[in-house]
Structure 1
Amino acid sequence: MATFEKGILGGFSGKVGNVVGARWRGKNVMRSLPQRGNYTATAKQEEQRLKFKTVIGFLSPIVDVLNSYYGSAQGDKSRANLATSYHLKNAVLSTPTGAVMEYAKVVISKGDLRGIDGGTVAAAAEQTLNFGWQDNSGQGKATATDAFMVVVYAPELNLFYTNIAVATRDATTATVTLPNFMASFEVEVWVSFSKPETNLAAISTYMGAITVL
């Protein structure tokens, strides 16, 4: 293994030719590719690979949300890296037919901001979701102008809808209109609050599954 600090493009991650670049303990490192043999992964290793693939596939479309509102970066680990680690350990389940996400354990945002109290969601005509909550401004770091965030996922379509500034905390109600193609599909819903122009957010709340009208 070799370390390097400068190069034509600086540090790199991934495979280039017969070497692999990565970050290790704060340094750029290069390693030669291992020689392939007749190695066969164990059942446990295959299970872990499938879980990792499932988590990455699920989180990738909302990586911008995660990198903005999932806690605080730690050293070389981005917010999205931390989110991936959490979901791999806590929110993916192996089943006889493959790995699946446990939506109730999914966390879209994470932080010290006060979350939603008394949250409700109901489907209405023309692909709309109506939300309600209590105004808990003044509790902890919560303020009236905190932004209400909505993330919706349609498992059958493998598609997300996100809106990070639907309304303010003191509004206590909000309406989101989903894309037409989500009509009649069951969707998973998460909500949270964030403080505008900062990375401060609340721990997201899972609102459950609901069928879009």
Structure 2
Amino acid sequence: WKSNYYIRARAAKVSNPRTPKQQEQRGKFATAFSFLKAIKPFIRIGYKEFTQDKSAFNAAMSYTLKRAVTGSGKEIRIDFNRVLVSMGTLMPIFEGTATQNGNKMYFNWQDNSGMGNAEDTDIAMLLVYNKDKETAVYDTKTALRSSQHAELQLPSDWQDDELIAYLSFCSADGNTIANSIRLSVSVIDTPENEIEILTEPIPKNYKNPTSIKKKGTQIQIKQNSSYAPPKDIRTWKFKPPQ
């Protein structure tokens, strides 16, 4: 790998290659690999800061196996709250929402340009993972951090599936990446001419509603997930994958 040379040794014979612990490790590896394979092009960008000694995919595998794969035996699964689809030294955002309306996912966040190395020209990176179909859609070159809003087109047959949304940022020169965050997803059904409420920047005192009234119509909100920012965002520190 990148001018490094290796000597292969013949693997030692294992008396019992299918012990419960070995099977569990293989199950965890397969679970992490299956998830990351579905978003591999995104991972190449999301973990590009860690390609000096390994590939971006291997860096993502290392983190996911240690931090985001949970359970044992037949209960091995991905903890999507712990997943990082991108990781790096760029300041992330700490407040945001994702709203699914029909075949679109609307992302909103609070602009924190000027905090640490966050710039208003940082580029938003959007990803929506379909937990039921085990596939994803994403856009790595969408709105700026200062825009506070972006949207992502979804396949037409995703409306009844459980979707998981992640938001990250890349610096304008492409050299630094932010840790992704999982956004709370709300599902609504609103006519196209009434969706302006979804495209407004997220206010500083924003609280996720349980319902929204608009033009006399009650719109029910379904909460699929949540992201809790740290109590003091000044204490945020970058932690590389182990």
Range class of TM-score, shorter chain: 0.7 to 0.9
| SS state at 1:52 partner | helix
* 1:32-87 deviation line (CA, Å, top 9, x unaligned): 3556x763421111101100011011101222222222262265322221210111
**Structure 1 position 190 matched with structure 2 position 160:** no
1:82 to 56, 59, 64: 59
| SS state at 2:163 partner | strand
Q: How does 1:126-145 map to 2 (within 5 A)?
A: 126-145=102-121
**What is the TM-score with the length of structure 1 in the denominator?**
0.78
Structure 1 letter corresponding to 2:20: A
* 1:178-208 deviation line (CA, Å, top 9, x unaligned): 1112121110111011113423111110114
Corresponding residue of 2:50: 73
Corresponding residue of 1:107: 84
Deviation at 1:160, TM superposition (A): 0.7
Q: Which has the higher strand share?
A: 1
Corresponding residue of 1:26: 4
1:120 to 97, 106, 109: 97
Measure, in 1, the Cα distance between the counterparts of 2:188 and 2:70. Answer: 26
Preserved CA contact (<8 Å) 1:187 1:212: no
Measure, in 1, the Cα distance between the counterparts of 2:141 and 2:188. Answer: 21
Preserved CA contact (<8 Å) 1:149 1:163: yes
Structure 1 residues 96 and 42, CA gap change in structure 2 (3 angstroms): closer
Structure 2 letter corresponding to 1:106: V
Percent identity reads 30
* 1:74-110 deviation line (CA, Å, top 9, x unaligned): 6532222121011111111225534210000000111
Structure 1 residues 149 and 206, CA gap change in structure 2 (3 angstroms): same
**Structure 1 position 52 matched with structure 2 position 29:** yes
Structure 2's unaligned 5+ residue stretches are: 190-242
Structure 1 residues 138 and 45, CA gap change in structure 2 (3 angstroms): same
Measure, in 1, the Cα distance between the counterparts of 2:137 and 2:163. Answer: 10
Structure 1 letter corresponding to 2:145: R
* 1:132-179 deviation line (CA, Å, top 9, x unaligned): 112211222222221111111111101111111221111111222211
Structure 1's unaligned 5+ residue stretches are: 1-22
| SS state at 1:117 partner | coil
Preserved CA contact (<8 Å) 2:127 2:166: yes
| SS state at 2:50 partner | coil
Structure 2 letter corresponding to 1:103: F
Measure, in 1, the Cα distance between the counterparts of 2:188 and 2:74. Answer: 27
Runs of 4+ in 1 over 6 A off after TM superposition: none
The number of residue pairs the alignment matches comes to: 188
Measure, in 2, the Cα distance between the counterparts of 1:123 and 1:77. Answer: 36
Preserved CA contact (<8 Å) 2:91 2:118: yes
Preserved CA contact (<8 Å) 2:123 2:170: yes
| SS state at 2:107 partner | strand
Structure 1 residues 97 and 187, CA gap change in structure 2 (3 angstroms): same
Preserved CA contact (<8 Å) 1:185 1:211: no
Preserved CA contact (<8 Å) 2:165 2:182: yes
**Structure 1 position 179 matched with structure 2 position 155:** yes
